[in-house]
Amino acid sequence: MHVLWLDPFHGGSHAAVAAGYAARSRHRVTLLSLPIAGGWRWRMHGGAVSFARMARAAHLRPDLIVASDMLDLATFRALSADTLAGIPAAVYFHENQLTYPLPPGRQRDMSLAWINYTSALCADAVIFNSDFHRETFLAAMPALLGRYHDYQELQTVREIAEKSYVLPPGVDLERLKGPPEPDDGPPIILWNSRWEYDKQPEAFFAGLDALEAQGARFRLIIAGEHIDPNAPTFAAVRERWAAHTVHWGYAADHAEYARLLRRSALVVSTAIQEFFGIGVVEAMACGCAPILPRRLNYPHLIPPARHADHLYDNAAGMVCMLRGALADAGANRDIWRAVAAPYGWPMTTPRYDTLFAELAERGRG
């Protein structure tokens, strides 16, 4: 069958999933994308118009359309009805603009949340990257619709729920494989989250302050993406931890990133937003033991039997778990590799292929 994948903000996990699936699927996948340079807000508003024009010019007639959450799918379907009418469409939610936490002082743009809603409403299938994401999105829908004094259409929440599915993002774990990185120093703690408010780097480094005060010995690899490496706060933290640092800064390429992960013993998150957790899965695939907050999607990533030792409830709990994990660093690398394995493309691609074939067949019926 032929799948048309529409990715209006082709970067990060959006691009990795779209291109990764297209390269591995047993189906024929046509990927239409737009660069991230245009900004994600403009892509949500304008991408549908561009994609409708591109699909019309290419004379495409796929068996199934898959769009990311950054596309106004309702507008796309309306503008492409002359050539794509009757083709079933699914929307894949990497994140959403209704429950994504905002920095202090910023007001939520409800027009973007509404695009997510109407895209889900007009889709034949709504696919989320985690159960956590599905549950939070559906739970937030009544409040969005309830903002209006009449014709709230609350029954549509149930309609969306009934056609919703969960497919984790495929992760390219093969590129992370390599020989063990020899290292005889103190265990290395990895931070591979973005340096932004929703990942709370200040909470991470406050925990390291407490850990150091207790006499723990450790080193650091700071490999997350940062917006402004010259920001005063960022520079001050870098100077503060210079004596502990093995690497600081966004990895130059995939090979360097993989080497950094294989050197690390622990991966830590302090995030208040994580609809899946690709960075944690990548670190676990390299044998890193996770120390994560007991919230978001993290409890779904970690086996229940290991929650007590790897999911913390507060800042003190994070420090306590880090101390225990440092003492046991490197002991269970194969266990964490096994936890990450189901999210690799060899395991996820058949799940995508099967669901997409079912949706296409249902559309033909």
Give the mean pLDDT of 303-307: 97
CA distances (Å), origin 359, targets 1, 52, 63, 234, 352: 11, 21, 9, 47, 11
* Domain 174-343: homologous superfamily in CATH: Glycogen Phosphorylase B; (3.40.50.2000)
* pLDDT at position 229 over 70: no
pLDDT confidence band for 180 (50 / 70 / 90): confident
Q: Residue 341 in contact with residue 285, Cβ under 8 Å? A: yes
The predicted model scores a pTM of 0.96
> Could you read off the pLDDT of 118-153 as tens digits, one per residue?
999 999 999 999 999 999 999 999 999 999 999 999
> Could you read off the pLDDT of 186-203 as tens digits, one per residue?
999 999 998 889 999 999
Q: Where in the chain is the domain with CATH 3.40.50.2000?
A: 2-170+345-364, 174-343
What architecture (CATH level 2) is domain 2-170+345-364?
A: 3-Layer(aba) Sandwich (3.40)
Please provide the average confidence, as pLDDT, over all residues in the chain: 95
The tokens for 318 are 């994070």
Q: What is the pLDDT at residue 346?
A: 98
Tell me which residue has tokens 């779209």: 18
pLDDT confidence band for 108 (50 / 70 / 90): very high
pLDDT confidence band for 227 (50 / 70 / 90): low
DSSP state of 137: H
Give the mean pLDDT of 231-247: 89
DSSP state of 108: P
